[in-house]
Amino acid sequence: MEQSSMEKYVPLHVCHVNKTSIIINRAHAFLHFIAILFLIHYRLSFFFQHPKNTTIPTLPWLLIFVSELLLSLAWLFTQSYRWRPVTRTVFPERLPADDKLPAIDVFICTADPNKEPSVEVMNTVISAMALAYPPEKLHVYVSDDAGSDVTLRCTKEAWNFARYWVPFCRKYDLVTACPDVYFSSSEVDSGDFEGSEFKAARTKMEEKYEVLKQRIRRIVQQHSTTGDALHNTRDHPSIIEVINEHPEEEDEVKMPLLVYVSREKRPSHHHNFKAGALNVLLRVSTMISNSPYILMLDCDMYCNDPTSTRQAMCYYCDPQTPSSIAFVQFPQTFRNICEDDIYDGEIRNLMKIFWHGFDGVGGPTISGSNFYIKREALLGSFSKQQELMALKRSFGPSNDFIKTLVEDYKPGFIHDGESSRMLLEKANVLASCSYENQTSWGSKVGFLYFCVVEDYFTGFTLHRKGWKSVYLYPKKPQFLGIATTNFNDTSIQWTRWASGLTSVAISKFCPLIYGPLKMSWVQLMCYSELAFMPLLNCLSLWGFALIPQLCLFNDISLYPKVSDSNFNIFFIIFVSAILKSLYEVVTTGGQVLTWRNDWRIWMMRSVTSYFYGSLDVVFNKLGMKEASFLPTNKVIDDEHAKLYEMGIFDFRTATTFLAPLVTVILVNIAAFVRALVVNVVDNDRDGFWEKMFGQMFLSFYILVSNYTVIEGMIIRRDKASIPLYVTLLSGVFSVFILLIGSAILC
């Protein structure tokens, strides 16, 4: 009997181990690591020389050595992603019948209607309702953290349009579930679209969509021109409303449940940013639909492929899949990325390289959006025999909520006027800002509150408990969002991420200390790389950007002569790193220009966003500053978008982001130009060129890689160039660094 059942078993998914990549990655790591050991030996041997045999000051040698060690440690951590990369294939056509599929709740989070355009948000809502899944098993929740009447009214308008859009998608088997993309795309969707019936239906549907956009824009305009604009986003009651104005029997097909949720906010309570909103959704959805699986979406991340639900279920419905899989993560992909992605908006290293390797050693962490997660992983599993008071201490005082925990994911919502009203009143209690007081919410239950990167920390904790995850990267993007396309927004976004990651790195939850339980050591290194990335990169890059240059400015050599065999060590390490990164970019669909842009934005982030994010955590630890959460601006400015598409940097950002970049460039220019002048005027005195070649090349490489900053300072005169006052201010900083640095280091 057992053999017969095994013969009938057909897998719903397959994992492919990339053996060629493993061989290349491990061979390169081995050779590169040997070169690093030679570098360490070279640096250490300096400290054992007799003082009479060297004229080089100890402090700059020590500082550059520390910078090299930090960068080497950062490189070592990244090798964990390259240890065992895998890719995955799913077979949704093999899933069981619809009546055997589990229910799914969809969480869509929005926080600010002024920064997150309502038309875009509603397109995400509509695309979620049009997912290719049994409608009675699909429930969509819109979390409005601003408590804005605009979002509630727009959600109702979206529901009215979805009543026609969802049947239209199902009838004609559309593979583009987002109306805005469908009607603006020149590509022909799948199916038979030549008949006059379809053409008439499409024209009618497009007219309805135009009406929807006009109504949404009118609502937003009324909000901005009336007293509603004075609404306090941090002081409002909870609102939960089931958007179902038309009984199901009047609809041609069944519709997914759509629920609007706005949690209570009061100035006297800390609201824990996005994680707090997600935990309210967890409680409210448990009372209403209580689906065993949850799809998490950002408000600008619409469902591009309606079959993502079925692809994710290939892992949860496969009888041979371990029950320990907590979530299925899809990549973050974006529709507004141009070929010359100068700000690395698509986060290509993470999504196309690192996460495949993360998947091969236990699974990636939660990545903000686009993941299907098991509710049990967030809340735990329970039995009716568990003590009621113990459950209340963890989950709060609501008896009705605790009852749902032990009822094996039975939905609570009933389409009956009085019963629905009572249920929503109970759900409103769960959305109050004081409900979590003296409970385990945010510390042991739900999404965790320790830092602003709740996705990373929650995923890390789940893996630490023994849960697994998978990374599914289909050929067709399952979800498409809007990436930041200007330097200001991308700097703010990365500063926030850097702050959250660093707060984990220097806390009791540091992966190197807190992690070793049920995680493999390679997966632990992946988490450590993320946590320490801002600190390691900003400290090492600041060292490389200033220390050799100050020494070059004062005729102090930190690298071997070109004729010295030790020079080959540095040459090999540099070329090895360059070629490996270029290989990875090209093999993942990028070009040489893509590689150049990746290196440049990495250097820029290291001396700006990573630096300020790490500094923010230090100030917070000292009680000098409280961590803040600024929603990224998703409003697309035509002028910003035009510059981005042309590959031109938009430097309209705060002086705090520009000054470090310009200062580094000016210091490197001063050091490089002085070295050239000395070499020419003094006719290569005492072999100056050979002795200083390493430092001159480093400055030259920094200047060439960041030519766009020089261009913004000197050549460009448009509104998006670097202002003159920033250049002058940075000039003062540069002179100060050259004078003080020379006095200290030399």
Phi/psi of residue 91, nearest 5 degrees: -130, 75
Calpha distance 619→639 (Å, rounded): 36
Q: Which residues of 405-425 are buried (b: 16+ CB within 10 A; e: fewer)?
A: beeebebbbeeeeeebeebbe
Q: Are 487 and 653 in contact (CB under 8 A)?
A: yes
- Residue 305, marked binder: no
Q: Do residues 710 and 703 lie in contact, with contact meaning Cβ atoms separated by under 8 Å?
A: yes
Task: Mean pLDDT check: name the lowest of 45-49, 123-127, 129-133, 438-442.
Answer: 45-49
The answer for residues whose C-beta is within 8 angstroms of residue 142's C-beta and 6 or more apart is: 108, 110, 125, 151, 155, 258, 259, 260, 261
329 φ/ψ angles, rounded to the nearest 5 degrees: -100, 125
Statement: residue 629 has pLDDT above 50 = no
pLDDT of 561 strictly over 80: yes
Among 455, 489, 598, 650, the active-site one is 455
Mean pLDDT throughout 729-740? 95
Three-state secondary structure readout of 249-295: HHCCCCCCEEEEEECCECCCCCCCHHHHHHHHHHHHHHHHCCCCEEE
Is 105 flagged in the annotation as binding? no
pLDDT tens digits, 255-306: 999 999 999 998 888 888 899 999 999 999 999 999 999 999 999 999 999 9
What was the pLDDT predicted at 485? Answer: 87
Tell me, what's the pLDDT at 245? 57
Query: Has 416 been labeled as part of a binding site?
Result: no
Catalytic residue (choose from 105, 112, 145, 300): 145
**Token pair of 707 as six digits:** 């030519």
Q: Give the pLDDT band (50/70/90) at residue 2.
A: very low
Q: Return the pLDDT at 5.
A: 47
Please state, for a pLDDT cut of 70, what percent of the chain lies above it: 90
**What one-character DSSP code corresponds to residue 445?**
B
d(CA 260, CA 279): 15
Mind listing the pLDDT tens digit for each residue in 4-57?
445 577 899 999 999 999 999 999 999 999 999 999 999 999 988 766 656 788
Q: How far apart are CA 61 and CA 517, in angstroms?
A: 39
Residue 441 DSSP one-character state: B
Instruction: Establish whether 99 is a catalytic residue.
Output: no
Which DSSP helix (H) or strand (E) runs through 328? strand 325-329
**pLDDT at 199 exceeding the cut of 80:** yes
Single-letter amino acid code for the residue at 411: P
Predicted local confidence at residue 226, as pLDDT: 59
**Residue 668's CB: how many other CB atoms inside 10 A?**
24
- Residue 425: its pLDDT value, please? 85
Encode pLDDT of 83-101 as tens digits.
999 999 999 999 999 999 9
C-alpha span between 308 and 525 (Å, rounded):
30
pLDDT at residue 392 is higher than 80: yes
Q: Is 384 annotated as a binding residue?
A: no
pLDDT of residue 98: 92
Q: Which amino acid is at 746?
A: C
**Residue 634 is labelled as binding a ligand:** no
Q: What tokens does 746 get?
A: 């030399």
Residue whose C-alpha is closest to residue 337's, from 481, 475, 472: 481
Amino acid 479: pLDDT: 95
CA angle 340, 650, 344 (to 5 degrees): 40
Q: Is 145 a catalytic residue?
A: yes
Angle at 623 between CA 618 and CA 624, to 5 degrees: 75
Measured between alpha carbons, how far is 342 from 595 in angstroms, rounded to an integer? Answer: 10
Which residue from 460, 150, 408, 438 is spatially nearest to 292, judged by alpha carbons? Answer: 408
End-to-end CA distance of the chain, in Å?
Answer: 81
In sequence order, what are the residues at sequence separation of 6 or more whose Cβ sits closer than 8 angstroms to the Cβ of residue 156?
243, 245
Q: What is the rounded CA–CA span in Å between residue 705 and residue 593?
A: 11
Q: Residue 602: count other Cβ atoms within 10 Å of its Cβ.
A: 16
- pLDDT at site 368: 87
CA-based nearest residue to 602, from 75, 64, 23, 40: 75
- pLDDT per position as a tens digit, 659-678: 999 999 999 999 999 999 88
Mean pLDDT of 191-209: 82
Phi, psi of 242 (to 5 degrees): -85, 115
Q: How many CA atoms lie within 13 A of 662 on its CB side?
A: 25
Q: Which amino acid is residue 598, in one-letter code? A: D
Residue 649 has pLDDT above 50, yes or no: yes
Signed CA dihedral, 277, 282, 287, 293: sign only: positive
Burial group, residue 311, by CB count within 10 angstroms (0-12, 13-18, 19+): buried
475-531 pLDDT, tens per residue? 999 999 988 889 999 999 999 999 999 999 999 999 998 866 678 899 999 999 999
Spatial contact of 365 and 459, defined as CB atoms under 8 Å apart: yes
Instruction: Select, from the ranges 61-70, 264-273, 629-638, the one with the highest average predicted confidence (pLDDT).
Output: 61-70
**Mean pLDDT of the chain, nearest integer:** 89
Q: Residue 61 has what pLDDT?
A: 95
Does the pLDDT at position 455 exceed 80? yes
Rounded Cα distance between 203 and 298, Å, is: 30
The residues pairing with 15 across neighbouring beta strands, listed in sequence order, are 88
